[in-house]
Homo-oligomer: A and B are copies of this chain.
């Protein structure tokens, strides 16, 4: 980070802003990926049972990478590719792995996970309306998705698409399938990139994607027809926690900026650091960050010990707590910077946007509070 990332932050943004197509490759990124690969700082997210790190050990790394929004990709650790690679590792056939997992692991291509739909509350995965219908040796896919991260990016080649293959199955959790759809398949349209709070998150981006009579071979199905919900459950835990870890890095960095600002800026004849309210903001922010970090660490440790499924109380707790904490802390630290804190002169504003949309990603906070609340009522009252 000290040697290659922080010193290149301005250059990265200059290159990005200089691109003719905002969703094409930033040259610096490819150089830095090469360096990271050479130094063995590559695919650090790899789970322990595949020779990688425990969730707990990965926490500190993810936080560190999270301090710069584009840094995780340098180490091939960015969402949603990490989650997608894990899906391939857990559920892919050898052929699927050879074709898609290998270039993903090497950082050659990127991938999207096509879950969220504009017309239904996708936080309840059973709601998806996209259809995946078998016709002979093919599946035909029709539907509209949005907030598909990576979709606009030129290097993205493969979509994992969630849809209904058996909408009438009385078991609501067996209606869904997940299927591989190469981005260049006829009938796939990346309709438009979406912004959140004005940010397009280029070059990876989030897009609305339309599937119109898209046909793929039957062997593109993942794990088997009707097992889409099962895959989505298996996928979510670590991904949520990775966002939390990165957001803690964002918040921590904002706090450090605020501390430096507090000693370098004077108002009304005193340094900011001599205003009691600034010290209180700094102290509160530290407390909130530290508590979030400990909660996320405990969640990671529990996942290491008992698996994601039995850790869903703490996963929910982290998912509810950390993005909102990061939004709040970064908001305070921007305020300490005056109007400049809101501009692109600091990384805080963009990190604020990251925190804000994470309160919606993988389901809004409210859904997780409902789920966690129910677990707790069960635990303590029954």
A140 within 8 A of B: no
On whether the beta carbons of A124 and B339 are closer than 8 Å, the reply is no
A327 CA / B368 CA spacing, docked (Å): 23
Which residues of the other chain, B, contact A340 by a CB distance below 8 angstroms?
118, 146
Interface-facing stretch out of A128-136, A223-231, A348-356: A348-356
Q: Which of B195, B290, B294, B317 contacts A198 (CB 8 A)?
A: B195
User: Given that A276-B370, A294-B291, A294-B295 are contacting pairs, would A376 and B198 also be in contact in the complex, using a CB cutoff of 8 Å?
Assistant: no
On whether the beta carbons of A260 and B381 are closer than 8 Å, the reply is yes
Interface-facing stretch out of A38-46, A160-168, A214-222, A279-287: A279-287
On whether the beta carbons of A377 and B198 are closer than 8 Å, the reply is no
A373 CA / B262 CA spacing, docked (Å): 10
Within 8 A of B (CB), among A324-382: 335, 338-344, 349-350, 352-353, 356-357, 359-361, 364-370, 372-374, 376-377, 379-382
On whether the beta carbons of A267 and B197 are closer than 8 Å, the reply is no
Which residues of the other chain, B, contact A367 by a CB distance below 8 angstroms?
267-268
Closest to A350 in B: B198
Which residues of the other chain, B, contact A277 by a CB distance below 8 angstroms?
275-277, 280, 366
A6 within 8 A of B: no
A298 within 8 A of B: yes
Which residues of the other chain, B, contact A356 by a CB distance below 8 angstroms?
342
Closest to A368 in B: B283
On whether the beta carbons of B295 and A369 are closer than 8 Å, the reply is no
Within 8 A of B (CB), among A291-328: 291-292, 294-295, 298, 314, 316-317, 320-321
A284 CA / B146 CA spacing, docked (Å): 29
Q: Which of B196, B314, B368 contacts A349 (CB 8 A)?
A: B196
A280 CA / B282 CA spacing, docked (Å): 16
Closest CB in chain B relative to A50 CB, distance in Å: 29
On whether the beta carbons of B198 and A279 are closer than 8 Å, the reply is no
On whether the beta carbons of B353 and A321 are closer than 8 Å, the reply is no
1/0 contact trace for A181-221 toward B, CB 8 Å? 00000000000001111110000000000000000000000
A364 CA / B353 CA spacing, docked (Å): 21
On whether the beta carbons of A275 and B276 are closer than 8 Å, the reply is yes
Closest to A127 in B: B267
On whether the beta carbons of A291 and B124 are closer than 8 Å, the reply is no
On whether the beta carbons of B320 and A283 are closer than 8 Å, the reply is yes
A295 CA / B287 CA spacing, docked (Å): 8
On whether the beta carbons of A379 and B259 are closer than 8 Å, the reply is yes
A114 within 8 A of B: no
A341 CA / B278 CA spacing, docked (Å): 25
Which residues of the other chain, B, contact A381 by a CB distance below 8 angstroms?
256, 259-260, 262-264, 273
A87 within 8 A of B: no
On whether the beta carbons of A280 and B373 are closer than 8 Å, the reply is yes
A and B contact pairs by CB, cutoff 8 A, 23 listed = A123-B267, A196-B349, A197-B342, A198-B349, A256-B380, A260-B380, A262-B381, A263-B381, A273-B373, A273-B377, A275-B276, A276-B276, A276-B277, A277-B280, A281-B373, A282-B373, A282-B377, A283-B368, A290-B317, A294-B294, A335-B365, A335-B366, A339-B360
Which residues of A approach B to under 8 Å, CB–CB? 116, 118, 121, 123-124, 146-147, 194-199, 255-256, 259-260, 262-268, 273, 275-284, 286-287, 290-292, 294-295, 298, 314, 316-317, 320-321, 335, 338-344, 349-350, 352-353, 356-357, 359-361, 364-370, 372-374, 376-377, 379-382
10 smallest A-B Cβ distances: which pairs? A279-B373, A198-B198, A291-B291, A294-B294, A259-B380, A196-B342, A121-B267, A283-B369, A277-B277, A283-B372
